[in-house]
Amino acid sequence: MILIDGSYLEGGGQIIRTSIALSAITGKPVKIENIRAKRRVPGLRAQHLKGIEATAELCDAELKNAKIGSTSIEFIPKKVKGGSLSINVGTAGSICLVLQTLVLPSLHAEKEVVLEIIGGTDVKWSPTMNYFKHIFSYFLSKMGIEIFVETLKYGFYPKGGGKVKVTIKTCKEIKPINLIERGEMEKMDVRSIASELLRKRKVAERQTEGSKKILKFENEIISYVPSLSPGSSINAHAHFENCKLGASELGERGKLAEKVGEEAAKSLVKQIDSNACLDEWMADQILPYMALAGNSKVSVAEVTNHVRTNIWVIEKFLPVKFEIDETNKIISCQKI
């Protein structure tokens, strides 16, 4: 059984998600201790537990001590079956963070996996569904992985109630990637979404106006959506010949919509100025897929503690070695 110290480096939920996903796909049992030990409220939260339970259902895993607040769990997987799964994360628990646990094992399932997940689509401390659809899934498609995303309903904090349908095709052979040079910029687009409850205040339009103070976007997509709680988000994307960069911001009570858009655009400028192929959020998310593909290399906007933590976990499960070129911010992975 592989033993993982959940307090390592950033010591957050990412250690749980990566460990459980790799346990399921490799068939290696795992014990995670000191779960979220550095957090104000340590132990498993609802969205971590839902991700673990759903992955366990996917591969008939035996779970030990998996409950809210638990600081130590064991996950003993069997074969990944595939099929359809319905998950309710509860209120505005992040749908994207649950997906981070489920996508990887789904690739080695006996048949395609169809997930229907209820929870938060655009919530704090998590990628938005539009980031998952337009950035995360885009990079995985370069590795031969097919993911189809339908956002059926948006869910904002605190009530959530968003709903997505995600279909993940099996993929036993992941293609290596080599993304160092991004090529010429082709276009930029911005997607501004707000609850119908905020239409009168023109929140979606105002977010876009704020972003346009900083950058010129070729395409603007403005949407108002039904939701249980009022909320908004904006996603800005820069398209290059070889890659795509993204940045997102969420609306907040008391923050001007224009300011939200401005912050998203400034965040995208930071990613563009890095000259990297992967933005700082994609940098750690791509790593397990690079490890399964082997012999891959990417340039990243930032080498974060999330990156270092994920590498540490991955190397415990798979016969790979990562190297980080700190000067040029290039991460490479070789099979050993």
What residues are paired with 233 via a beta bridge? Answer: 193, 250
DSSP secondary structure of 200-254: TTTHHHHHHHHHHTT---SEEEEEEE--SS--EEEEEEEEESS-EEEEEEE--TT
Edge-to-edge strand ranges of the sheet holding 219-225: 219-225, 185-195, 232-240, 244-250
Residue 36 falls in which region: left (phi positive, over 0), alpha (psi -120 to 50) or beta: left
Those residues whose C-beta lies under 8 Å from the C-beta of residue 222, and which sit 6 or more positions away, are 192, 204, 205, 208
Give per-residue pLDDT as tens, 48-75: 999 999 999 999 999 999 999 999 999 9
Cis amide prior to 158 (ω within 30 degrees): yes
pLDDT at res. 47 = 87
Q: Are 100 and 93 in contact (CB under 8 A)?
A: no
pLDDT of residue 187: 97
The rounded Cα 97 to chain-centroid distance in angstroms is: 6
Give yes or no for residue 10 having a pLDDT over 90.
no
What is the model's pLDDT at position 9? Answer: 93
Please indicate whether residue 306 is annotated as part of the active site: yes
- Whether residue 96 is predicted with pLDDT greater than 90 in this model: the reply is yes
Rounded to whole angstroms, how far apart are CA atoms 109 and 260? 40
Residue 42, token pair as written in the block: 């340590």
Phi, psi of 118 (to 5 degrees): -110, 135
pTM over 0.75: yes
Residues 128, 190 contacting (CB under 8 angstroms)? no
pLDDT in tens, 270-304: 999 999 999 999 999 999 999 999 999 999 999 99
pLDDT digits (tens, 9 = 90+) for 213-268: 999 999 999 999 999 999 999 999 999 999 999 999 999 999 999 999 999 999 99
